[in-house]
């Protein structure tokens, strides 16, 4: 690097070039840069539909840095008056059902007639290495280039609940940034469906035909949550099987009691790969929003979700406070040792720790 460039860099950053290039100085510089976030400018840019500002705001929300938490809270408070103007759609299905392909095709369908679409995807993390591929942007290579779309993958980490809370807060930021449709993609396994269902207006279940998925789909829990079932990959040789699966799912839906929304879940066919049946799914969602808005279920449901997340947040904070209390940390180690030597039971140890905390 030339002397003039070095001098310019030193003058701009206020440190010598040798200090900048040392590892410790680079780390300190990065931390200082992160700490020097102008919240007011970030909020203003976000409300002006700046995607970069939206990404930075979500990063603040996801950060565990205490300073960032304060800034994130301020940003959320400023964005609240501009939120709640979108349609929130949860999309779930087993791995391999084609969620990413469907979301890309569906998202492109919406942006084609002027909708701004945000996709918040929860990617499963390895419980062994803690790593996560975060490959949604790669899989949705066409949608990611669309100026009316925003894709944000988040690693699930050890706690799905923690990520879910960040996802819910990210919804507020996306709405404040002017997105009309917010799509939440689940991990596709276990509790993630229930968690995502508690933060969306419409819950879409993607299914496959001819893969032994019909019987699994009739299980009570997931069907009760679904507002619509879309049988994906209904093309080519699989079309006949998809039509038969549609009949079976329709029969199953009629076995369940009427939803509190007074909405009758529908079953439809689609092929995300061939862009077939996508418009019909949007029509179903539009009908659902119209029906639930007219009978006031739409607002009631959102209010109930807010109450649910209030309780969830309190529980999460209490849990965090409990395990981060110094005397509990020390006592927990002792109780774990007693467990290993069969001198106590898990229940007695828990009772002891809770009494110590109170």
Tens-digit pLDDT string for the chain (358 aa): 555 555 554 554 455 545 545 555 555 545 544 446 789 999 999 999 999 999 999 999 988 888 888 899 999 999 999 999 999 999 988 888 889 899 999 999 999 999 999 999 876 554 444 444 454 556 788 898 999 999 998 765 555 544 667 888 999 999 999 999 999 988 665 566 778 888 999 999 999 886 654 444 445 577 888 999 999 999 999 999 999 999 988 888 888 888 899 999 999 999 999 999 999 999 999 999 999 999 999 999 999 999 998 998 898 889 989 999 999 999 999 999 999 999 999 999 999 999 999 8
Q: Which of 152, 50, 146, 135 is nearest to 107 (CA)?
A: 146
User: Any idea which fold 84-296 has?
Assistant: Rossmann fold (3.40.50)
Q: Residue 218 has what pLDDT?
A: 46
The span from the CA of 343 to the CA of 353, in Å, is 15
- Structure-token pair, residue 125: 């993390």
CB neighbours of residue 174 within 10 Å: 29
Q: Residue 36 has what pLDDT?
A: 61
Residue 188's alpha-carbon distances to 11, 98, 165, 201, 229, in angstroms, are 51, 11, 17, 18, 15
Range list for CATH 3.40.50.300 in the chain: 84-296
CB neighbours of residue 304 within 10 Å: 13
Q: Residue 63 has what pLDDT?
A: 85
Q: Residue 137 has what pLDDT?
A: 54
- 8 Å CB contact between 295 and 262: yes
The span from the CA of 269 to the CA of 278, in Å, is 9
Q: Residue 133 has what pLDDT?
A: 46
Strand, helix or coil at 125?
coil
Q: Residue 220 has what pLDDT?
A: 59
Angle 175-178-182 from CA coordinates, rounded to 5°:
50
Q: Residue 333 has what pLDDT?
A: 94
- DSSP class of 49: T
Q: Residue 9 has what pLDDT?
A: 47
- Structure-token pair, residue 328: 């509990």
Q: Which of 200, 278, 271, 221 is nearest to 242 (CA)?
A: 271
Q: Residue 128 has what pLDDT?
A: 47
- 8 Å CB contact between 72 and 61: yes
Q: Residue 79 has what pLDDT?
A: 95
Q: Residue 243 has what pLDDT?
A: 94
Angle 90-96-100 from CA coordinates, rounded to 5°:
45
- Structure-token pair, residue 272: 């995300």
The span from the CA of 224 to the CA of 220, in Å, is 6
- Structure-token pair, residue 156: 């699930």
């Amino acid at each position: 690097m030339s002397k003039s460039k070095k001098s310019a860099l030193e003058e701009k950053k206020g440190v010598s070039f040798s200090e900048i290039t040392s590892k410790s100085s680079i780390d300190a510089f990065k931390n200082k840069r992160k700490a020097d976030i102008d919240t007011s400018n970030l909020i203003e840019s976000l409300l002006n539909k700046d995607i970069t500002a939206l990404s930075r705001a979500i990063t603040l929300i996801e950060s565990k840095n205490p300073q960032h938490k304060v800034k994130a809270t301020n940003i959320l408070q400023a964005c609240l008056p501009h939120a709640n103007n979108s349609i929130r759609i949860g999309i779930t299905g087993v791995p391999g059902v084609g969620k990413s392909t469907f979301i890309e095709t569906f998202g492109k369908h919406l942006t084609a007639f002027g909708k701004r679409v945000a996709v918040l995807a929860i990617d499963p993390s390895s419980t062994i290495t803690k790593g996560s591929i975060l490959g949604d942007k790669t899989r949705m290579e066409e949608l990611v280039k669309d100026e009316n779309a925003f894709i944000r993958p988040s690693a699930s980490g050890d706690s799905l609940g923690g990520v879910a809370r960040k996802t819910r807060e990210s919804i507020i930021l996306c709405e404040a940034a002017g997105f009309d449709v917010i799509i939440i993609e689940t991990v596709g396994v276990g509790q993630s469906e229930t968690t995502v269902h508690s933060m969306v207006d419409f819950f879409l279940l993607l299914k496959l035909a001819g893969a032994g998925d019909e019987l699994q789909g009739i299980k009570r829990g997931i069907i009760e949550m679904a507002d619509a079932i879309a049988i994906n990959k209904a093309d080519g040789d699989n079309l006949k099987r998809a039509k038969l699966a549609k009949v079976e799912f329709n029969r199953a839906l009629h076995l369940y009691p009427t939803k509190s929304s007074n909405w009758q879940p529908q079953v439809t066919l689609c092929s995300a790969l061939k862009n077939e049946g996508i418009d019909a799914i949007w029509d179903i969602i539009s009908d659902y929003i119209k029906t639930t808005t007219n009978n006031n279920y739409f607002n009631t449901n959102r209010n109930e979700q807010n109450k649910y997340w209030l309780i969830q947040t309190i529980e999460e904070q209490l849990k965090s406070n409990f395990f981060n209390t110094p005397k509990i940390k020390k006592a927990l180690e002792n109780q774990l040792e007693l467990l290993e030597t069969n001198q106590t039971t898990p229940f007695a140890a828990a009772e002891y720790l809770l009494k110590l905390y109170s």
